[in-house]
Structure 1
Amino acid sequence: MGRKSLKIIRQKEIIEHFYNVAKTQGLENTSIAKVAKEMNINTSLILYYFKSKEELMFGLIEYILERYKSIYVTNENDSSEIKLRKIINNLFSKDWNNLVDDGVFYSCYTLTFRDEKIKEAFKDLHNSLRLFLEEIIIEAKKDRVISVKNPKETAELIFVFVEGAYYYLSLFDITDIEYTNKTEHYKTAALDMLKFNKALQ
């Protein structure tokens, strides 16, 4: 058990450094040698835990997923309505957008057009995030908090909205106030999709 734990700790440490190098130098310019230099270790030690850069890429995608998952953490004693509202607030906040560097995220995304395995891993990442949202929507519907017909479709639409909103906003140099106003507007539209029971508002 101890050895396995140490392996997991070391792998996570390597992936975090891989992410940091990719953030500063670009994913396409990041190599195992550069990560080793950043960590002040021999490349052979990284190759002991990851056989190739491709394996590191899968680790990075899993790392991105874990960071995004943190946005779904709510108090288990909260009602389904509070949980759902908190998650929607988080999805349309700077906290969500700042969890992962845009350059690293979109560089990973471009690899999906060239590598089928990475495409599948990236698809699994999105499916996991959508499923988390779908589950809380199902819970809120069961509690009669919302009246959506199809929780899966609604979760999908909200995620399309979230991804599209941040991609769109990344193209412009806008002030923090403008950014907040736009994300608030998008959040209101997402809340409208959920059809909250007016008696509860």
Structure 2
Amino acid sequence: MGRKSLTDVRQKEIIRSFYRVARKIGLENTSIAKVADEMGISNGLVMHYFKTRDDLLIGLNEYILERHLNIITSRENGVIDSWESLENLIKNLFSRKWNRYFDDGVFYSCYALIYRKKDFNESFRNYLESLHRVLYDKLKEARAGGVICNENLEELTEIIFALIDGAYYYLGMFTDREQAYEKQVNLYIKHTLSLFITA
């Protein structure tokens, strides 16, 4: 595997700083100048790697994708070759593990940009399609291993993600220690698992 270029490394450092500042003061208040202050560098150096704030937002979106893919592709999920491993994957998808990888406030601020910025809309759609492809591949593993018999895995993937997105949005209003939170999560997991056809 080749070494990452200095440009790639520097861009990643700037994106991480952009994310840290957005977590502290909100995405809408985060500017190139504030990122530069956070890093102790000049605005010009940030703009050498990201010409505009919009370019930085696209980079942040790619960073979100990379972080979120970790949930589905983590070693913890492994190969989906048993009902237990499939159940574990679904539980992980509905868990608060997403929060370990990315802040909800920043994520939903990014999501709101799809309605205002065409480039960001396309980037965000690509992000979602990447997540869907990875889940689709996991479901293919489950079918190849005889764990499920569902025919239309593309449709199943879309339905599962619609459930996850809706559930996650709603569950953001609860702490994970509340009984209501636990009750809702278990409800979503139960109904998602009921979508699978087994032999």
**TM-score, normalization by structure 2:** 0.89
- Residues 50 and 65 (structure 1 numbering): CA distance in 2 closer, same or farther, change over 3 Å? same
Aligned to 1:125: 127
CA distance in 1, matches of 2:135, 2:157: 6
- Residues 97 and 24 (structure 1 numbering): CA distance in 2 closer, same or farther, change over 3 Å? same
Task: Return the offset for 1:99.
Answer: 2.4
CA distance in 2, matches of 1:153, 1:97: 27
Find the residue that maps to 1:194 and give its secondary structure. coil
Aligned partners of 2:80 and 2:138 also within 8 Å: no
Aligned to 2:168: 166
Aligned partner (choices 85, 104, 107) of residue 105 of structure 1 = 107
CA distance in 2, matches of 1:159, 1:133: 9
CA distance in 2, matches of 1:101, 1:168: 15
Larger deviation, residues 171-180 vs 54-63? 171-180
Task: Return the offset for 1:25.
Answer: 0.8
- Residues 165 and 79 (structure 1 numbering): CA distance in 2 closer, same or farther, change over 3 Å? closer
Task: Return the offset for 1:113.
Answer: 0.8
Aligned to 2:94: 92
Q: Percent identity?
A: 43
1:158-197 equivalence runs, <5 A: 158-172=160-174, 175-197=177-199
- Residues 175 and 139 (structure 1 numbering): CA distance in 2 closer, same or farther, change over 3 Å? closer
Task: Return the offset for 1:24.
Answer: 1.3
Aligned to 1:21: 21
CA distance in 1, matches of 2:182, 2:98: 13
Larger deviation, residues 105-114 vs 82-91? 82-91
- Which amino acid in the other structure matches residue 194 of structure 1? F
1:36 paired with 2:36, answer: yes
Pairs aligned (count): 196
Task: Return the offset for 1:174.
Answer: 7.0
Specify every segment of 5 or more residues in structure 1 that has no aligned partner in the other structure, as ranges: none
Task: Return the offset for 1:76.
Answer: 9.0
Deviations 1:131-151 (A, max 9, x none): 101111122112221021210
Specify every segment of 5 or more residues in structure 2 that has no aligned partner in the other structure, as ranges: none
Larger deviation, residues 108-117 vs 70-79? 70-79
- Residues 76 and 104 (structure 1 numbering): CA distance in 2 closer, same or farther, change over 3 Å? closer
Aligned partner (choices 136, 140, 143) of residue 141 of structure 1 = 143
Task: Return the offset for 1:193.
Answer: 1.0
**TM-score, normalization by structure 1:** 0.88
- Which amino acid in the other structure matches residue 48 of structure 1? H
